[in-house]
Structure 1
Amino acid sequence: MKIIACYSNKGGVGKTATAVNLAYALAAKGQRTLLCDLDPQGASSFYFRVKPSKKLTETKFFEDVERFTKAIRASDFDGLDILPANMTFRDFDVFLSRMRNSRSRLKKALKAVKGDYDVILLDCPPNISTLSENVFSAADGIIVPVIPTTLSQRTYIQLEQFFQANKLPLKKLHAFFSMTQGVKSLHGQTMEDMRKQHKKRFLKTQIAFTSDIERMGVQRAPVMATAPRSQAAQAYGTLHDELMERL
């Protein structure tokens, strides 16, 4: 079983749209996939029309295998299940900080469904925290959307620095440029500079800022399902292929 995290320490970079479409792409390729929504806002659960499980609190998530597995819901797409988030997930860090071996608790919880899925995809909240450290430890690969702007560039550099300071393997990070706009010269220059500085970390695929992706919130489905021939859908498909080749 592979564990892939979709993570950014900056919000508003297209993280959840990426998680939703990657989960769809994995299932469409025949991989038994669980999308685990760790963000208390529950955006990826919302996209798949899955209501939160009120009984799965932060305590039950890590300590009650039966409650954890019962909270999993089927999506409208074959081979793709969802573990929906709820607002109690905001207390993950408080709970984890009180536990021994807190950095390994997420991986232990996910082992409960090891035999049921080929891939677990984690949609993570946008911060560096105890939960994030669990994600970094548990994941086989971490896909990181980066908007080609100064602030997004800065937060990505901070992420690499955090990995280096905590002796985490940089090879787990697989960044890509998200929400790109060809008409902006700054985007082009930033992408060129970052590819030079972080050669091994960035995937070739980039996801452009398009109205098809914006409409996901209205249609509540992956763009790969609603507009499979669109530029966005094809880009997510290419992103899936490139990521899986790396992993």
Structure 2
Amino acid sequence: MKVVACYSNKGGVGKTATAVNLSYAAAASGLRVLLCDLDPQGASGFYFRVKPSKKLKDDTFFRDEDRFAGAIRGSDFDNLDILPANMSYRDFDIFLSRMKNSQSRLKKALKAVDGDYDLILLDCPPNISALSENVFKAADRIVVPVIPTTLSERTFEQLLEFFVDHDLDRGKLLAFFSMVQGRKTLHHETMEKMRGIYSELFLATVIPFSSEIEKMGLHRAPVAAYAGGRFAARAYSMLWAEVGARF
């Protein structure tokens, strides 16, 4: 079982859209996939028409393997299950602060379904926290969407500094450019600059700023499920091919 985290310390960069579409692409390739939503807003579950979990309250996410497994729900798509979030997840850092070996609690919790899935995809909240440190340790790869703007560049640099300061494996990071607008000179200049500095960290695939992706909330489905022939759907498929190849 492999674990891929869709993570960014900046909000609004297309993180959840990435998690939803990568999980769909991986499942379509034949893998048994669990999309685990760690964000209390529960957007991943919403996109798949799955209601917030009522079983995983308080710290049971980390302590009760039976409830963890029992909270998993099937999706409308073959090979793809969802572990939905709820608002109690906003207190994950408090729960983790009270536990022994707090930085490895997520990795231990995921073992409850080891053998049931080939891939677990984590949709992570946009911050650097105790939960984030758990994600960094549990994940085999960390997919990081980056909008090619100055502020996103700065937050990406902060993430790299955190990895260095905490002796984390920077080789887990797989960054890619998200919500790219081809007509913007700044986007092209920023991508060229960042690829030059961080060439070993950035994937080749670029996800465009697209109305088809924005319509996910209306269709409540991955892009390929309602616009499979459009470029945005193909881009996510290519992104998964790159991520999968890194294993």
Query: TM (normalized to structure 1)?
Result: 0.99
1:16-44 per-position Cα deviation (integer Å, ceiling 9, x unaligned): 00000000001000100000000000000
The CA distance in 1 between the partners of 2:189 and 2:13, in whole Å, is 18
Q: Pairwise mapping of residues 84-95 of structure 1 onto structure 2 (< 5 A)? A: 84-95=84-95
The CA distance in 2 between the partners of 1:89 and 1:109, in whole Å, is 14
The CA distance in 2 between the partners of 1:220 and 1:134, in whole Å, is 29
1:58 equivalent to 2:58? Answer yes
1:66-107 per-position Cα deviation (integer Å, ceiling 9, x unaligned): 111110000000000000000000000000011111000000
Equivalenced residues, count: 247
The CA distance in 1 between the partners of 2:246 and 2:58, in whole Å, is 33
Task: State the one-letter code of the partner of 1:192.
Answer: E
Q: Pairwise mapping of residues 68-107 of structure 1 onto structure 2 (< 5 A)? A: 68-107=68-107
The CA distance in 1 between the partners of 2:222 and 2:209, in whole Å, is 15
**How far 1:58 sits from its partner (Å)?**
3.5
Task: State the one-letter code of the partner of 1:229.
Answer: G
Task: State the one-letter code of the partner of 1:129.
Answer: S
1:180-201 per-position Cα deviation (integer Å, ceiling 9, x unaligned): 0011000000000000110100
RMSD: 0.5
Question: Residue 191 of structure 1 aligns with which residue?
Answer: 191
Query: TM (normalized to structure 2)?
Result: 0.99
**How far 1:225 sits from its partner (Å)?**
1.1
The CA distance in 2 between the partners of 1:206 and 1:55, in whole Å, is 38
Matched residue of 2:59: which SS? helix
The CA distance in 1 between the partners of 2:224 and 2:152, in whole Å, is 26
Question: Residue 122 of structure 1 aligns with which residue?
Answer: 122
Question: Residue 26 of structure 1 aligns with which residue?
Answer: 26
Question: Residue 7 of structure 2 aligns with which residue?
Answer: 7
Question: Residue 39 of structure 2 aligns with which residue?
Answer: 39
**How far 1:57 sits from its partner (Å)?**
1.2
Task: State the one-letter code of the partner of 2:111.
Answer: K
Matched residue of 1:122: which SS? strand
The CA distance in 1 between the partners of 2:157 and 2:58, in whole Å, is 30
Task: State the one-letter code of the partner of 2:88.
Answer: T
**Where in structure 1 are there 5+ consecutive unaligned residues?**
none
Question: Residue 142 of structure 2 aligns with which residue?
Answer: 142
Which contiguous aligned blocks of 4+ residues in structure 1 show a shift greater than 4 angstroms? none
**How far 1:52 sits from its partner (Å)?**
0.9
Aligned sequence identity (%): 68
**Where in structure 2 are there 5+ consecutive unaligned residues?**
none
The CA distance in 1 between the partners of 2:69 and 2:208, in whole Å, is 36
**How far 1:246 sits from its partner (Å)?**
1.5
1:150-202 per-position Cα deviation (integer Å, ceiling 9, x unaligned): 00000001001100110001100000000000110000000000001101000
**How far 1:142 sits from its partner (Å)?**
0.2
Matched residue of 1:58: which SS? coil
1:184-226 per-position Cα deviation (integer Å, ceiling 9, x unaligned): 0000000000001101000000000010000000000000111
Deviates more, 1:97-106 or 1:53-62: 53-62
The CA distance in 1 between the partners of 2:124 and 2:163, in whole Å, is 17
Question: Residue 113 of structure 1 aligns with which residue?
Answer: 113
Question: Residue 209 of structure 1 aligns with which residue?
Answer: 209
1:95-139 per-position Cα deviation (integer Å, ceiling 9, x unaligned): 001111100000000000001000000000000000000000000
Question: Residue 176 of structure 2 aligns with which residue?
Answer: 176
